A and B are shown apart, each in its own frame.
Chain A
Amino acid sequence: LSAVVFFEVEILDAKTKDKLCFLDKVRSHFSSNCLHYPQWYPARQSIRLDPKGKSLKDEDVLQHLPVGTTATFYFRDLGAQISWVTVFLTEYTGPLVIYLMFYFRVPFIYAPKYDFTTSKHWVVHLACMCHSFHYVKRLLETLFVHRFSHGTMPLRNIFKNCTYYWGFAAWMAYYINHPLYTPPIYGEQQIRLALIIFLFCQIGNFSIHVALRNLRPPGSKTRKIPYPTKNPFTWIFLLVSCPNYTYELGSWLGFTLMTQCLPVAFFTLVGFIQMTVWAKGKHRSYLKEFRDYPPLRSPILPFIL
């Protein structure tokens, strides 16, 4: 006969600290996903040990949490949520479609005499192929490659993200496909170099995404340290924590060089700033979680950043 330990669980509102409910005779294998308020769907409910802390995961069970026999949980409504997959698909389809609209010079963008004409510069066709390829790649990766840790994000993010991606795509596409577009100063040399950089970084970025996917068995949310694999494009893991961002920066630098377009440079810069913030955060959490994290690595730029 083994003794069964019962817990008492009280749930408080994380903001007001009001007592929301009290449960007694709770078994030790109770976890936060046993607990849901019916009026909100589970993804927007956050149960946590500390009002300002991180949410408990579905797998955390009472007997393994640092609580006494009376456990206090805090509840927070995260607001309307949307799945990461939905956000990614929406934010990436926009640029793909929008750029093509400018490329084909759909009416009301440029002067009417240019409607449905195409640019006379071959680099403009190349740029369209590269830009479209980039976003098709992203869409396919979202559907088939990425394994997301979190199911959802706040709903307002989709408006923010789409404004960013769609807005910049329109801004860049307007100039590149403009009847008065000026091709790169150094002509074919510049474009060829840019294309090589772009393709190299696209393959690199894809390689990293595949490597990261393979770290994680299907359906799991485990986190492991990524290491270089047989694929040479992953050897950058020796120097960098988030090489996917490094390659992404490289791709856009290539595209900037290819199009010699200031708005593209701005987009690259803003993206670089955001990715650096993300890379630093990721690097910090790697360091926190893994005692044996390789010390040579920088977050995004080898030795620099």
Chain B
Amino acid sequence: MSAAAPGTSKAAHSEVGPKKKKGPGALATAYLVIYNVVMTAGWLVIAVGLVRAYLARGSYHGLYYSIEKPLKFFQTGAILEILHCAVGIVPSSVVLTGFQVMSRVFLTWAVTHSVREVQSEDSVLLFVTAWTITEIIRYSFYTFSLLNHLPYLIKWARYTFFIVLYPMGVTGELLTIYAALPYVQKTGLYSVTLPNKYNFSFDYYTFLILVMISYIPLFPQLYFHMIRQRKKVLGHIEDYSKVE
């Protein structure tokens, strides 16, 4: 649900503190470099797609349709990152990464894709833009870190842009979910009512409201975690060389 992936995935990739004794093996590193390069390229495609569509149409409206397919492809592809943690080639928490990725996937498929009426909302553009810029920086950060040649600019960008992009993304996400509510209620989308032989019910409308409410405790925690990471990583500017 976050525009900027919090610094939890930073461990092998940041220069904070002592180096990890054993990172991923050579094969895993090669794979991860390829993965991160492909993802960087993918989100660049989305960025270019947005800009071109804007220039062609002359308005912000309905730009979602021009990047719908690559957005779905590359955002869904991020599920691999959960696998990377589970297998151990990336030293992050499976649970935390899983939560972050699945919340993005949820917004992409279960809200934006599923409720056609919200696809032309400006709020969609808001979070797509936030995600796009964030991901381009994040994946290039990982790429360079894996190659041990991290330009300070990328590191700085990663730990600075989130300050604006994260609230921007969250706003876009919340507004989109809110816009979807009336349609979900009207059509009973993804909802199950009683009676049925499994004695189970699910109200997607109420579920979406609960999701929105959950942003209240979660967003500040993730945001301030990134702020603390920023102090740690960028705080000792004098001690760090610009390029590894």
Contacts and interface: CB of A to CB of B under 8 A. Distances in A.
B197 A176 contact: no
A175 interface: yes
Contacts of A185: 197
B187 interface: no
B200 A182 contact: no
Contact of A263 (B196, B197, B200): B200
Nearest to B198: A262
B194 interface: yes
Nearest to B201: A175
B241 interface: no
B59 interface: no
A45 interface: no
B195 interface: yes
Contacts, number: 29
Contact of B198 (A178, A180, A260): A260
B199 A181 contact: yes
Chain B, interface size category, equals: under 10
A181 B194 CA distance: 8
A262 B199 CA distance: 6
Give the secondary structure class of B's interface: loop
Contacts of B194: 175, 178, 180-181
A213 B236 CA distance: 58
B206 to A, nearest CB: 14
B196 A182 contact: yes
B197 A182 contact: yes
Interface in A165-185: 175-176, 178, 180-182, 185
Nearest to A264: B199
Contacts of B198: 260-262
Instruction: From B195, B199, B201, name the one whose CB has the most chain A CB atoms within 10 angstroms.
Output: B199
Contact of A176 (B195, B199, B201): B199
A237 B195 CA distance: 43
A207 interface: no
Contacts of B195: 180-182
Nearest to B202: A262
A69 to B, nearest CB: 34
Nearest to A178: B194
A175 B192 CA distance: 13
B207 to A, nearest CB: 14
Interface of B: 194-201
Interface of A: 175-176, 178, 180-182, 185, 259-263
Given A175-B200, A181-B194, 7 more contacts: A175-B194, A182-B197, A185-B197, A260-B197, A261-B200, A262-B198, A262-B200
